[in-house]
Structure 1
Amino acid sequence: MYEEKHKHLKELEKVLVSRIDNVSHDLSSEHSADSAEQITERENEDVLRNLKEETQLELKQVRSALKRIDSGEYGMCAKCGEPISAARLDALPYATLCIRCAS
Structure 2
Amino acid sequence: MDTHKYQAILIARRSELQHRLERIETDLDRPGNPDDDDRAIERNNDEVLEELGGAGQKELEAIEAALDRVVAGTFGACAQCGQPIADERLQAVPHAALCSDCLKDR
For residue 18 of structure 1, what is the aligned residue in structure 2? 19
Instruction: Provide, for residues 37-74 of structure 1, a one-character-per-residue CA deviation record: whole Å limited to 9, x for no partner.
Output: 10000010000011111100000000110000000010
Any runs of at least 4 consecutive aligned residues in structure 1 with deviations exceeding 2 A, and if so which? none
Instruction: Provide, for residues 10-35 of structure 1, a one-character-per-residue CA deviation record: whole Å limited to 9, x for no partner.
Output: 00000000010000000001111110
For residue 93 of structure 2, what is the aligned residue in structure 1? 92
Structure 1 unmatched runs, 5+: none
Residue pairs, 1:1-103, within 5 angstroms: 1-103=2-104
**TM norm structure 2:** 0.95
- How many aligned positions are there? 103
**TM norm structure 1:** 0.98
Structure 2 unmatched runs, 5+: none
Kindly provide the amino acid, as one letter, of the partner of residue 73 in structure 1: T
Alignment RMSD (CA, Å): 0.6
- Seq. identity, %: 33
TM-fit CA distance, 1:94: 0.5
Kindly provide the amino acid, as one letter, of the partner of residue 11 in structure 1: A
